[in-house]
Amino acid sequence: MTRYTRQTILPEIGDEGQRSLSCAAVLVVGAGGLGSPVLLYLAGAGVGRIGIVDDDMVSVTNLHRQVLYTESDLGAPKAECAARRLREMNGDIVVEPYATRLDEENARGIVTRYDIVVDACDNFATRYLVGDLTAEAGIPYVYGAIGGFEGQVSVFKPRAAAAQIPRPMARRAGDAANRAAEGRRRRDSRRRGVRRGERDDEDNMRLRRDARRTALDNRSAHHADPNRRAAMKLIVITRPDIFDGEASWIAALFRAGLPTLHLRKPDAPIEAVRALLCSVPEEFHDRIVLHDCFSLTREFALRGVHLNGRNPEPPENYCGSVSRSCHDLDEVRRYKPSCDYVTLSPVFDSISKRGYASAFALPQLEMARAEGIIDDKVIALGGVTADRLPAVRRMGFGGAALLGAIWSAADPDAAAERLKTISNLCKIK
C-alpha cells in the first residue's frame, strides 16, 4: 500500500477504498485526447484491471495532446502502445488492449467483462452501442467529450428500470449531425488543402455539440421509465461430472456469447479441475465462476467463486465476484446482502435431476417479489427452459441459470444454438 499512501490518507479512500480499486475492472473506449489522461490516472490510482479499446494508429498529429504516446510510437496501434505505457507505469495492474473497433459482433464479449465503462470515443455509432450494452448489463457508464475549451462529462448508473436508448430519435439526430459535420469537414479540408480522409477534432466536437442535447435528454427520459426492465442475466452451470470433450463444449458456449459459466464439479479432484481449466482458452477464464477447488483462484484469473454447503466461505482476502446457492427464501434474505447475486432453486421441476421437484408455489414467489426478496440479484435455477423465461421475468428474477436445457443437447454446436435462442429471449423487453 506504500505506493498509494498519498491517496489512502484521504478519509474518503483509506485502505479499504484502495483494496476496492485494486479489485475493480474499468474499460476505456477510445485512447485519444480524452482517453489518454483517463488511462494514466486510472493506472496511477491502482485500478486492478484496465481494458483499452481503440483501432487507430498513432500519428504525428496526435502527439501534441494525446500524452500517452511518443515519437517512437508513430504508426503503431494506440491500444498496444497505451497498454505498454501503463504497464511500465504500474506493474501491479493488469492491462488488456483491444486493437479493434467495437461492433455488434465483439462488443458484448468485451464490455460485459468490466465493472465500469468510460466512453472516450469519437463517433455516435460506438456511443449508442456502448450505451445500450451498459444499460442492458447494468454497468455504470461514464460519458465524456472534450474539444477546444469545452468539456462534458456525465455518469449513467443503470437501475433495474434501465433500458436501451430510444434508437430511432437518437439515431436520426446522430445521423443528421454526422452528415452536417462531414460536410463541414470536407469544405474545411478543401480550403486547407488537407487530404479528404483526415479527421479533424474540432469537427468531431462540433458533431457532439450538435446532437448531445437530444441524445442525453432521450437517455435520461428512458432511464426514468419505471415500466421497463434490463435484460436478464444468463448463467450456464456445468454438469457435475467431467466428460470427454467438455472444454470444447464450454468454448463453444463462450463463443456463442455466454457471459458467465459456473464450473461445478463437487466430486472431481483438484488436478482434474485444473486440467479442465487449462483446456479452456485463457481468453474465457474471466467468465468462469468456481463452485469447488477455490484455491485455483490463485492460479487462474477467474471471475469469481460460488458459495454452497461444501464451501461456505470465500478464500481469504478474495476480491472477485462472490455468489451463493439458496434453497429457500430465508436463505435469500440472509445471504443476498453480502453477495453479488444468489441462485434460488428449484424454481421449476429439474431437467437434470429426475424427481427434483419445484419447491415454490407461484403465489409464494409473487409475494417474495412484492416484498423485495426476489429482485435483480436473485437468479432462477432449476428446470429453466426457453419457454419458461417469460415466467421467470414475471416473477421478478434478475436472471436465469441453465443446466439441463444446455447439456441435453446432442453436441457443442447444438448447445450453442440453444444458448443463442435463450440469450435472445433474455434481452430487454
How far is residue 121 CA from its own chain's centroid? 17
The pLDDT assigned to 105 comes to 87
Residue 239 has pLDDT above 50, yes or no: yes
233-425, CATH topology level: TIM Barrel (3.20.20)
**pLDDT tens profile 267-317:** 999 999 999 999 999 999 999 999 999 999 989 989 999 999 999 999 888
Residue 230 has pLDDT above 90, yes or no: no
348, 308 Cβ separation under 8 angstroms: no
**DSSP conformation letters of 131-142:** HHHHHHHT--EE
Would you call 365 helix, strand, or coil by DSSP? helix
pLDDT of residue 355: 66
Average pLDDT over residues 354-368: 84
Is 121 a residue whose pLDDT tops 60?
Answer: yes
CATH for the 2-223 domain, from 3.30.2010.10, 3.40.50.720, 3.40.50.150, 2.10.109.10: 3.40.50.720
Domain ranges of the chain: 2-223, 233-425
Contact 381, 237 (CB under 8 A): yes
| pLDDT tens digit sequence for 72-89 | 999 999 999 999 999 999
Task: Give the sign of the dihedral formed by CA 376, CA 290, CA 262, CA 250.
Answer: positive
Contact 368, 394 (CB under 8 A): no
Query: For residue 199, which of 212, 182, 211 has the smallest C-alpha distance?
Result: 182
The model's confidence at residue 353, banded by pLDDT at 50, 70 and 90, is low
Give yes or no for a contact between 40 and 48, defined as CB atoms under 8 angstroms apart: no
Pairing mode of beta strands 150-156, 141-147: antiparallel
pLDDT in tens, 143-190: 988 877 888 899 998 754 344 444 433 444 444 445 445 555 544 544
- pLDDT tens per residue across span 240-264: 999 999 999 999 999 999 999 999 9
- Buried/exposed code over 286-297 (b: 16+ C-beta within 10 A; e: otherwise): bbbbbbbbbebb
**DSSP conformation class of 232:** P
pLDDT bin (cut points 50, 70, 90) of residue 213 is very low
Q: Kindly provide the b/e burial profile for residues 311-349, where b requires at least 16 CB atoms within 10 angstroms of the residue's own CB.
A: beebbeeeebbbbbbbbebeebeebbeebebbbbbbbbe
